DNA sequence: AGAAAAAATGTAACCGATAACATTTTCTGA
DNA sequence: TCAGAAAATGTTATCGGTTACATTTTTTCT
């Protein structure tokens, strides 16, 4: 059924080497034999066994992608970008849903040691490798995307989250907001820390006080945004705006705020981060920070391939641009901020 | 750096076969030698080269997953289910974003011929194989999930879309709706046809007329739902409810309807399909059909592994249950249906 | 104890391609 | 025309495991 290179060689009346060359370096084969071989290949519908090629070459042309969860809309876009870049270079993606589990990540990163994959793209700021895994250039076969992992041995593609968060905060401050709550991502995510720092930066620059009581925990899901808004409503500090660390939490929060009869943005402003498709169709459409998600994926893959090909001499850090998208979930601060216990 | 089986054999003072057996069928090796080998493996930190194993065994333990687009929230959940089932059985997923392109799908399905993958999970109703690809049981190394592909040679896991659509329609009819528009998916999707048939079934049973003019095309994206609603608003037939073939289009439609000043469900009811997370946090929360997305993925993978292991004697068709989830996007039909040109 | 059976281990072919090296063929130029 | 260079092609070891088969060791039973 499946023919191999020997059958092709026999049918074409040449040696296996000639068949291999016809496929790999056709310029080394004379036109006539090349034609004979090509015809034999077609006749037998020969397809090289890529497992054999990969085994022999020691290159699997597979890339492990460690994603906290594919259910996240932003990551879905990043993955799409990776897909395309990888396909263009002849690489396949082995997608792993890590659910944020370090042990799982280390497990899968080990696929490199078993030659199942050549490299890893990590979407979380966790390093599943150790010093022994660096190559001759001193680089890890890994690229870190979206979140910043403090590993000098690997290229990173990210966004200046601190600056972006500051820009968003300034937008709120300009609208007159003085009581801004924040719904954060999990504490384990450096992204959360960066965005919080940007938030603080902007408050300080504006002469506003940072209030620890107005920081609420979330986990980037709709439900967690909903729950955090619930907690915001049941505490005593005044609040006129909520800065959410991603769009999903913002949409969840809006859902809860509306259920409480609050109008957005008249009573309270809400902002997101990521600019997922839903944020443009919500009521109201969400003010958010656009990230070039597909480009994140694309860049990550290309950087990794550079490392794998030994083209990268040192770990570059790529910072992609963000964009503040102002829609209708933010408006002028109300005369009287929301404060349920008043 | 990376040690191979021969080094382990040398260190343990046994033959390579014994090392291999220690790993594959330990019961064939005496406890003492097994211990010696195990110690050598640890000392050398030996990891079998899985590319070699896969090549030799002819089984890649890879599964190609053809997804129209990972950006679709429903598919993201299905993929998560597949991930887990695959990992549990030692398989890896090669995810391919086909963007609905037949040529791309055939290309990637070909990974089976090049021994890069053992099987395919197809989330679209397109068969990238031909009759030659069936195994000795007469089965294709493929499982069809979500949409029903009319291929008797491959297992299918789906939902009774026709029945579910009918149930949803009945719900609207019971609320008194007599002018129901439908926003469909792409005509190329059999799912669209099934849901439309269910819609028609229910109308007929209720003695209502089916009106071709109230069928609108979409492509399962938010934007297409928005656009379709726009078209609904600019035509002349009265409409009191819109049945959308998925949640994303429903949310897009709601966005457009609200922009026109319509209240949901007081002026017009809207329904979705899939029960994605967003549908529970929208304003209003969406009445929809819940599908067990993760279970789809899980079942698909398990069926495929059965086929690959030769355990499946014939192509089974699994029908998973749906559930009508009634939220606040549907309500009693208004006295006067929406009809902008009136 | 010794033969037969069972268990443990070893030897080496093999999977399918690649590529180093060897050999043959074709081309070039005096 | 013929030596030498260049081009084309062939031969074969090799990648790292698995496994059929051969051989050796241990156990069992009379």
Query: pLDDT tens across A190-239, in order?
Result: 999 999 999 999 999 999 999 999 999 999 999 999 999 999 999 999 99
Instruction: Let me know if the fold of A58-160+292-321 is the same as that of A161-291.
Output: yes
Q: What are phi and psi of B69, to 5 degrees?
A: -160, 130
**pLDDT for residue B214 is more than 90:** yes
Report which of residues B165 and A314 the model is more confident about: B165
Position B241 scores a pLDDT of 98
**pLDDT for residue B340 is more than 60:** no
- Three-state DSSP class for residue A69: coil
The reply to whether A20 has its C-beta less than 7 Å from any atom of strand C is yes
- Cβ contacts (< 8 Å) between B223 and chain A: which residues? 277
In this structure, of A223-232, B106-115, B170-179, B196-205, the range with the lowest mean pLDDT score is: B106-115
A118 near A61, Cβ under 8 Å? yes
C-alpha A140/C-alpha B110 separation (Å) is 32
Q: Which helix (H) or strand (E) holds A296?
A: helix A293-308
Select from A231, A286, A261 the least CA-distant residue to B278. Answer: A286
* Protein CB footprint (7 Å) on chain D nucleotides: 7-12, 14-20
Report which of residues B197 and A1 the model is more confident about: B197
Q: Chain A: nearest CA to B326, how far in angstroms?
A: 17
Position A131 scores a pLDDT of 84
Of B83, B94, B278, the CB nearest to A92: B94
Does the structural domain B5-48 have CATH classification 1.10.260.40?
yes
The reply to whether B32 has its C-beta less than 7 Å from any atom of strand C is yes
Q: Which CATH superfamily is domain B59-159+292-321 in?
A: Response regulator (3.40.50.2300)
Place of tokens 């409810």: B241
Residues 6+ apart with CB under 8 A from A297: A77, A78, A79, A80, A81, A82, A83, A84, A85, A145
The residue extents of the domains of chain B are 5-48, 59-159+292-321, 161-291
pLDDT, tens digit, 9 for 90 and up, residues A66-122: 999 888 999 999 999 999 999 999 999 999 989 889 999 999 999 999 999 999 999
Position B77 scores a pLDDT of 93
- Cβ contacts (< 8 Å) between A77 and chain B: which residues? 71
Angle at B87 between CA B83 and CA B88, to 5 degrees: 120
**B281, B296, B329: best to mutate for the A interface, most A CBs within 10 A:** B281
DSSP state of B239: B
Secondary structure (DSSP) of B294-331: HHHHHHHHHHHHHHHTT--SS--EEEE--EEE--TT--
Alpha carbon B326 to its chain centroid, in Å, reads 23
- Cβ contacts (< 8 Å) between A70 and chain B: which residues? 70, 76, 79-80, 83
A82 near A300, Cβ under 8 Å? yes
**pLDDT for residue B74 is more than 70:** yes
**pLDDT for residue B341 is more than 60:** no
Position B275 scores a pLDDT of 97
User: Using 50, 70 and 90 to split pLDDT, how confident is the model at A1?
Assistant: low
Burial readout B152-171 (b: 16 or more C-beta within 10 A, e: otherwise):
ebbbbbbbbbbbbbbbbbbb
**pLDDT for residue B36 is more than 70:** yes
Q: Chain B: nearest CA to A110, how far in angstroms?
A: 9
Position A310 scores a pLDDT of 87
A242 near A269, Cβ under 8 Å? yes
Alpha carbon B221 to its chain centroid, in Å, reads 16
pLDDT, tens digit, 9 for 90 and up, residues A245-269: 999 999 999 999 999 999 999 999 9
pLDDT, tens digit, 9 for 90 and up, residues B299-308: 999 999 999 9
Looking at domain A58-160+292-321, which CATH architecture does it have? 3-Layer(aba) Sandwich (3.40)
pLDDT, tens digit, 9 for 90 and up, residues B77-136: 999 999 999 999 999 999 998 988 999 999 999 899 999 999 999 999 999 998 888 887
Average pLDDT, chain B: 94
Residues 6+ apart with CB under 8 A from A33: A12, A14, A18, A22
CATH class for the domain made up of A161-291: alpha beta
Q: What are phi and psi of B51, to 5 degrees?
A: -65, -40
Average pLDDT, chain A: 94
**pLDDT for residue A158 is more than 80:** yes
In this structure, of A132-146, A252-266, A279-293, B281-295, the range with the lowest mean pLDDT score is: A132-146
Q: Which two tokens stand for residue B9?
A: 């054999």
Position B177 scores a pLDDT of 97
A207 in the Ramachandran plot: left (φ > 0), alpha (ψ -120 to 50) or beta? left
Q: Does A22 touch chain B (CB under 8 A)?
A: no
Position A342 scores a pLDDT of 45
Residues 6+ apart with CB under 8 A from B28: B21
Q: Does A30 touch chain B (CB under 8 A)?
A: no
Of A60, A79, A281, the CB nearest to B222: A281
Q: What are phi and psi of B92, to 5 degrees?
A: -110, 150
How far apart, in Å, are the Cα atoms of B97 and each of A16, B75, B91, B287? 36, 11, 19, 29
User: Using 50, 70 and 90 to split pLDDT, how confident is the model at B151?
Assistant: confident
User: Using 50, 70 and 90 to split pLDDT, how confident is the model at B1?
Assistant: low
Q: What is the CA radius of gyration of chain A?
A: 26
Alpha helices, H only, A176-242: 190-205, 222-233
Position B342 scores a pLDDT of 45
The reply to whether A263 has its C-beta less than 7 Å from any atom of strand C is no
Place of tokens 């382990």: B8
Maximal CA-CA distance, chain B: 93
**pLDDT for residue A35 is more than 80:** yes
């Amino acid at each position: 059924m499946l023919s191999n290179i020997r059958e092709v060689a026999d049918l074409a009346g040449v040696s296996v080497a000639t068949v291999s060359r016809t496929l790999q370096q056709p310029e080394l084969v004379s036109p006539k034999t090349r034609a004979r071989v090509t015809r034999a290949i077609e006749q037998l519908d020969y397809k090289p066994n890529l497992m054999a090629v990969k085994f022999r070459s020691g290159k699997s042309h597979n890339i492990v992608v460690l994603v906290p969860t594919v259910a996240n809309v932003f990551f879905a876009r990043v993955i799409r970008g990776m897909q395309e870049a990888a396909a263009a270079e002849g690489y396949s993606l082995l997608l792993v849903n890590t659910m944020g589990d370090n042990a799982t990540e280390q497990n899968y990163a080990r696929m490199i040691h078993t030659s199942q994959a050549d490299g890893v793209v990590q979407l979380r700021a966790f390093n599943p490798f150790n010093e022994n895994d660096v190559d001759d250039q001193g680089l890890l076969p890994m690229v870190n995307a979206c979140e910043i992992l403090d590993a000098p041995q690997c290229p990173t593609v990210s966004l200046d989250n601190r600056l972006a968060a500051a820009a968003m905060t300034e937008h709120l401050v300009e609208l007159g907001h003085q009581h801004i709550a924040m719904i954060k991502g999990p504490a384990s995510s450096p992204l959360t820390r960066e965005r919080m720092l940007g938030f603080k930066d902007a408050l300080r620059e504006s002469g506003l006080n940072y209030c620890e009581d107005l920081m609420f925990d979330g986990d980037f899901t709709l439900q967690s945004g909903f729950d955090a808004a619930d907690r915001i409503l049941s505490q005593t500090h005044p609040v006129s705006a909520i800065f959410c660390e991603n769009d999903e939490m913002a949409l969840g929060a809006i859902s809860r705020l509306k259920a409480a009869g609050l109008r957005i943005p008249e009573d309270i402003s809400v902002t997101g981060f990521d600019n997922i498709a839903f944020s443009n169709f919500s009521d109201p459409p969400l003010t958010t920070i656009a990230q070039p998600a597909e480009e994140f994926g694309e860049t990550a893959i290309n950087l990794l391939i550079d490392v794998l090909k030994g083209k990268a001499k040192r770990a570059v850090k790529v910072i992609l641009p963000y964009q503040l998208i102002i829609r209708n979930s933010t408006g002028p601060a109300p005369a009287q901020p929301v404060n349920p216990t008043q």
